[in-house]
Amino acid sequence: MPVAEKKPIITFRGVKKAFGPKVVYRGLDLDVYQGETLTILGGSGVGKSVMLKMLIALLSTDAGVVTFDGREVGAMDVAEIARLRQRVGMVFQSGALFDSISVGENVAYGLREHFAATMNERAIWERVSWALTSVGMPGIEAMRPADLSGGMKKRVGVARTIALQPEVILFDEPTTGLDPVNVTRMNHLIVKLRHQLKVTSIVVTHDMTTAFTVSDRLAFVHKGLIAEHGTQEHFRNCTTPAVRDFIEGRSPEDEMASLFGR
């Protein structure tokens, strides 16, 4: 079904966000459709990660509305936000693993947090095993995060997210800091999970190799707005100067990275 005929599962409408004098968004409008992989592009400091954090209520909007599955995120109570974060999983840039516990306990952490009343220990560890196998790392439950490479840590972070079996996965700079082999491995994993788990994915990146490998559609953030959006083909042929410069690496953003945005 063409995108235009689908109903979006996620919407941003007229969203404004600032941190003191720094304006991040001045009227963000964007739709995300069920089952697609949408990549958010833009330079450092434009607020790509801020968008993800507003979706899962880690940050609030200053104005405008973010909706998930027809429900306004800003109007959700504590219980609804908890349910939102089960349905929308986030893979953080650093992996965000707890060094004091094993890999298996890291992957089990969200299950214990959200499903303690409905999953026994056997079910939890079966899910942990399934998640680690799904990211190509079976049998490492007893290892410690300190024993893992950067690429392995990122895949364990993915395993922890998919263990919750979310409907939407948010990838925040999934290939930053990885060598070319692990960049390729992570890109293929994002594509694989989309097809195997039938999830909707939003990928935040500044890496064009990742963008052109994993995306159904792309959206380019520039000066507080979505300056361009469309298919891979549209972006490959786009003549908008800011987009062209970004794709070809000729004109990096001159905005400084803020505390919350990249």
How far apart are alpha carbons 226 and 220 in whole angstroms? 6
| List of the chain residues with pLDDT < 50 | 1, 251-260, 262
Residue indicated by tokens 């004109």: 251
Per-domain residue ranges of the chain: 3-96+166-248
Got the DSSP string for 12-47?
EEEEEEEETTEEEEEEEEEEEETT-EEEEE--TTS-
Instruction: Return the pLDDT at 217.
Output: 96
Q: Among positive and negative, which fits the CA dihedral 254, 255, 259, 260?
A: negative
pTM of the model: 0.87
Three-class secondary structure of residue 68 per DSSP: strand
3-96+166-248 CATH? 3.40.50.300
Which among 6, 50, 66, 44 has a CA at the least distance from the CA of 200?
6
Q: What is the pLDDT of residue 249?
A: 79
User: So what's the pLDDT on residue 145?
Assistant: 93
Give the pLDDT confidence score for residue 254 in this predicted structure.
44
Residue 96: predicted pLDDT: 79
The pLDDT value given to residue 92: 83
Q: Which pLDDT score, from 0 to 100, does residue 137 have?
A: 93
